[in-house]
Structure 1
Amino acid sequence: MEYQTITYKEIKENPEVTALMERGNDMLGALGYTEHSKKHACKVAKGAGDILSSLGYDKRICELARIAGYMHDIGNCVNRTDHAHSGALLAFQILRGLGMPPEEVACVVSAIGQHDEKTGTAVDPVSAALILADKSDVRRNRVCNRVKATFDKHDRVNYAAVTAELTVLTEKKTVQLDIELDEEICSILDYFEIFLQRMLMCKRAAEVLGLKFRMHANGHKMC
């Protein structure tokens, strides 16, 4: 079999991937979850690729991180529960059908399958970069619920996030998440109560990349 070099651009333009992503986002919206649209997918894809690029990883590895980052939430079209696993299986079928080499398929699929904090952890550079990019995407415009009085705890935390920026400080061998929270909506303690497991996942992901994970909230060093 003649294998193909599949690019991030091709995946972004693939109608099958688009249909799965849009259906998943619509379904989560109906259930009251935060936004998981193309905007989130593109942000995670860019972030994952940029993290590895800044650390000097091979261009193809960076491209696989972008592909995994873009496809990581397609499993939501099946069900939010175990979406990482169903998403990995869907990605396997799509990428194999496109002719991606088996070792690259395996790399992307394992990264997608490991990205949820309930069941996964970073196991290699691609999965680590995906986790860091995904878990740092906390922002107000991800909240689909427009009625503040009915916000759940996740809505409140995301809505309170005025800015969130992830930076790789190569000289310090550190990846740093800087978040500005509106504490009239959500306190820093509330943030950690909800996202502690995610931050621990980021710490593990940073370690896989040979980095320390640091977080600053409203200028205060939290970890």
Structure 2
Amino acid sequence: MKKNVTLEDIKASPEVVAYLKKADEHMAAVGYTEHGQRHASLTANIAYNIIERLGFPKRDAELAAIAGYLHDIGNVIGRYDHGEVSAMIAHSILKEMRMEPLEVATIVGAIGNHEEEKGDPVSIIAAGLILADKSDVHRSRVRNPNMIMFDIHDRVNYAAKKSFVRVEEGDKTITLELTIDTDISKVMEYFEIFLSRMIMCQRAAKFLGCNFRLVINDVRLL
């Protein structure tokens, strides 16, 4: 019998716990920002909220959350092509849990399309995942604050004191609101490294029938 797999089932899986832990250790070893349980949980929660607040079925919101939780699990093998690898690992895990095949297909399609270099919002689940993943810019992701003057990614993340995704169903807008300490990093540095992400967020929001907005320090920039 097929099962309605939930996010809590995913979080309780020893395999998922182990893979996420090792994936984050691997990212730490090569100097990347945090990509472990914190990022997975936050991405899952934001993806759920986006889909749920736009009035889509609760099950779709749950699938978006599961995709959000598993989207970076492929880093356990390596950073290169981690979207596709994450999708394959997720497929194995979800199939073992006896999830409905169509739901598995939806989730792995979303995960395989979350990278800005070559991904596309191919479904509402994928669109929710993209917006959730790209919105996680925060100083808590920086592993070594002493390095922020040498690495622009660490500097921009460390400068971000607050990030929030606001969904307005009536206005059909999805707004990423950031508070950045400009003494640490200038707003232009954010665009220097994240412009491709913001373009992808615009495409994802459009797929959901919404406009994407970016507000930094109370100033609308997109």
Q: Normalized against structure 1, the TM-score is what?
A: 0.97
In percent, how many aligned pairs have the same letter?
A: 46
| Shift of residue 149, structure 1, vs aligned partner | 5.6
Cα RMSD, aligned residues only:
1.0
SS at match of 1:164: strand
Secondary structure at the aligned position of 2:56 is classed as: coil
For 1:220 and 1:183, the matched residues in 2 are separated by 13
Mapped contact 1:125–1:208 kept (Cα < 8 A): yes
1:34 corresponds in structure 2 to 33
The residue aligned with 1:84 is 83
Whether contact under 8 Å (1:145, 1:151) holds in the other structure is: no
How far off its partner does 1:168 sit? 0.4
Tell whether 2:54 aligns with 1:55.
yes
The letter of the residue matching 1:100 is M
Give the drift of 1:98: 1.0
Q: Give 4+ residue runs of structure 1 displaced > 4 Å after superposition.
A: none
Q: Secondary structure of the residue that 2:157 maps to in structure 1?
A: helix
Q: 2: distance between equivalents of 1:113 and 1:17? A: 17
Task: Report matched runs for 1:1-223 at 5 Å.
Answer: 2-148=1-147, 151-223=150-222
Stretches of structure 1 lacking an aligned partner (at least 5 in a row) = none
Structure-1 separation of matches of 2:150 and 2:35? 17
Report Cα offsets for 1:4-49 as digits up to 9, x if no partner. Answer: 1111100011011111111000000111100011111111101001
**Consecutive unaligned residues in structure 2, runs of 5 or more:** none
Tell whether the 8 Å contact from 2:73 to 2:89 is kept in structure 1 after alignment.
yes
For residues 60 and 221 of structure 1, what CA distance do their matches in structure 2 show?
33
Give the aligned length.
222
Q: Deviations over 1:119-156 (max 9, x none)?
A: 10211110000010110010001001232366411001
- Name the CA distance, whole Å, in 2 between partners of 1:109 and 1:171: 30
Rounded to whole Å, the distance in 1 between the matches of 2:145 and 2:178 is 22
C-alpha distance in structure 2 between counterparts of 1:98 and 1:165, whole Å: 33
Which amino acid is 1:79 matched to? G
- What secondary structure is seen at the aligned counterpart in 2 of 1:138? coil
